[in-house]
Structure 1
Amino acid sequence: MEDLERKVRQSLMNLERALSRLEDALKEDQHNSLMVDGTIQRFEFTIEIYWKTLKRLLLSEGIDAKTPRETLKEAFQVGWLEDEKSWLQMLKDRNETSHVYDEAMALRILANIKQYFPEMKNTFVKLKVRYEGKWMQ
């Protein structure tokens, strides 16, 4: 269990950094195509870190989720995510941007990221508070 606790702590720290970097990107001029691309890239790796962190947290609670989608559904079931549909759409957007690039799609997803970010940040704060006393010392 010590190894899992260490991994959970590291995951939460990595997630916090990724969210901070995504937040920084969202504050930049989004009329620049490089900034749009960079923001989407930061979103992609933030979602990747997010689902892996949730998977580890679920495992620490005795729930073994296998896939990103299953992980998000389980995290919703235990009450860590407030809007399951939004999180599943985040995952879909992340998958779309990883496989195909189209400028119109990129701008649509960028608009979605701006809407998703408060949910992503609020969820992180809840998780950090929940696990801070347990393992973050």
Structure 2
Amino acid sequence: MRERVEKFFNDFAKAFENLKKATEVAKDDLDIDGTIKRFELCYELAWKLMKEYLADLGIIVKSPREAFKQAFINDLIENEEVWLKMIEDRNLLVHTYTHEQSRDIFHRIKDEHVGELGEFYKSIQQKIENDEF
């Protein structure tokens, strides 16, 4: 199972770096739309990484909401509310995509979500390096 955690971590790490870069350089609609797609990928990989890590601890989760709640309880994330907002933002992007909403969400991605994803990256990296699972 640890191999799966490490694989998900490697995929998440690449996606996170790509998202960070995208938020730093996005200037026009094409850049912003690309950043939003990178966020969606990063979000999916983050929750699947959490799911695998928690499964290694014997905690089975079946949804992002459950994963984020358990990740908070198990000290993988610090701000559960931001993660729950990510669920809302991701769902809005996928199901009711409007230009105005997407730009509002882009600013949340840039101002809040990237920082929280970065904190998760550091937390899970440290746990993997210290073999804490």
Residue 126 of structure 1 deviates from its aligned partner by 1.2
1:20 aligns with 2:20: no
Aligned to 1:89: 85
TM-score normalised by structure 2 residue count: 0.94
Structure-2 residue corresponding to 1:71? 67
SS in 2 for 1:79: coil
* Large movers: runs of 4+ above 6 Å: none
Q: Which one-letter code corresponds to 2:72 in the other structure? A: F
Q: Deviations over 1:36-84 (max 9, x none)?
A: 1100000001000000000000001110011111111111111211111
Deviation string 1:69-126 (CA, Å, 9 cap, x unpaired) is 1111111111211111110001110111011221110110001001221111021111
Distance, in Å, in 2 between the alignment partners of 1:66 and 1:122 is: 23
State the aligned residue count: 131
Report the Cα distance in structure 2 between the residues aligned to 1:42 and 1:89, rounded to whole angstroms.
17
- 1:134 counterpart SS class: coil
Distance 1:29 1:17 in 2: 18
Matched, 1:40 2:39: no
| Among 101, 116, 129, the residue aligned to 1:132 | 129
Where 2:25 maps in the other structure, the secondary structure is: coil
User: Is residue 115 of structure 2 the alignment partner of residue 121 of structure 1?
Assistant: no
Deviation for aligned residue 1:133 = 3.0
Q: Which amino acid aligns with 2:53?
A: L
Q: Read off the aligned partner of 2:45 and give its amino acid letter.
A: I
> 1:6: how far off?
0.9
TM-score by length of 1: 0.91
Instruction: Give the match for residue 104 of structure 1.
Output: 100
Partner-residue secondary structure (3-state), 2:115:
helix
Q: Match for 1:25: what amino acid?
A: A
